[in-house]
Amino acid sequence: LPLFERLERRIVDGERGGLEEDLDAALRERPALEIINDTLLAGMKTVGDLFGSGQMQLPFVLQSAEVMKSAVAHLEPHMEKSDAAGKGTIVLATVKGDVHDIGKNLVDIILSNNGYSVVNLGIKQPISTILSAAEEHRADAVGMSGLLVKSTVVMKENLQEMNSRGMATRLPVLLGGAALTRSYVENDLSEVYEGRVSYARDAFEGLRLMDATMA
Ligand code: B1M
């Protein structure tokens, strides 16, 4: 297979052998971000489709995710970094009950490379931990990721908890993850939250929204 198709295939097959050599070859042709967005994420999408249609079993999905993570880690030092610093602090987490973290970690990378301090709490984080971290780090915003449909419910509960703690007006919230839709966030969740809540389709929209929030 040609290089970029082979790389995409490696994600789908969860095949780590020769990955770094292929990534280095790819880096000689395209910027790191383009490799992630156009090639590796296409592979993850196929994995999701295969799993969703019952053609791929969970352990293989996990292998693909691990290869994806290694690939992103290998590309990360090659990503463009802006000189801007001190644009603000965001606490980032995957919500309670949800283990998916590839998207969240991409958001971390993109924001960190573009002048934000990111406090990445990891996966399965209850709102109490997220809010303690936000206080401790004097965060300017909270970012929550979730890929399961049930995570959209958790997000709603989290926003209600932030309202009841009186934190809504000072903490804008950024939400993302495959189970969310723009209209659910902009219509339903905006109704619930007393502060500002926005939906990011991908990590770049997350960056644009953070820039708009901090402006
Ligand atoms: Co899971 N899984 N999974 N899984 N998994 C999904 C989400 C699913 C849609 C697959 C499917 O059925 N087609 C499905 C959810 C169905 C639903 O809820 N309706 C599903 C399921 C069912 C499950 C389990 C329940 C399976 C089981 O145990 N029977 C289980 C859940 C465990 C749990 O969470 N409690 C499970 C487990 C796993 C693995 C562990 C094997 C693995 C995760 C490994 C890991 O993350 N470390 C995994 C994977 C890899 C997937 C799919 C295939 C790929 C997810 C991914 O990494 N995509 C996924 C299929 C899919 O999403 N269609 C699936 C690439 C990533 C870059 O995209 O995270 O969407 P994403 O991030 C995007 C944007 O959404 C956005 O930016 C990124 C792009 O720039 N974004 C943000 C994300 N977060 C953001 C936050 C922001 C801003 C933007 O601001 C804060």
**DSSP state string for 46-70:** HHHHHHHTTSS-HHHHHHHHHHHHH
pLDDT score at 155: 98
98 as an active site residue: the answer is yes
- For the chain, percent of residues with pLDDT exceeding 70: 100
pLDDT score at 84: 82
Nearest CA to ligand 1 atom 8: 48
CB 151 within 8 A of CB 179: yes
CB 111 within 8 A of CB 90: yes
Q: What ipTM does this complex have?
A: 0.98
Alpha carbon of 84 to ligand 1 centroid (Å) = 31
Mean pLDDT of 169-174: 95
pLDDT bin (cut points 50, 70, 90) of residue 85 is confident
Q: What is the DSSP letter of 153?
A: H
49 as an active site residue: the answer is no
CA distance readout (Å), 102 to 44, 64, 148, 203: 10, 11, 13, 11
Alpha carbon of 7 to ligand 1 centroid (Å) = 20
Mean pLDDT of 183-188: 96
100 as an active site residue: the answer is yes
Average pLDDT, the chain: 96
pLDDT score at 83: 83
User: pLDDT per residue over 48-76, tens digit each?
Assistant: 999 999 999 999 999 999 999 999 999 99
User: pLDDT per residue over 150-171, tens digit each?
Assistant: 999 999 999 999 999 999 889 9
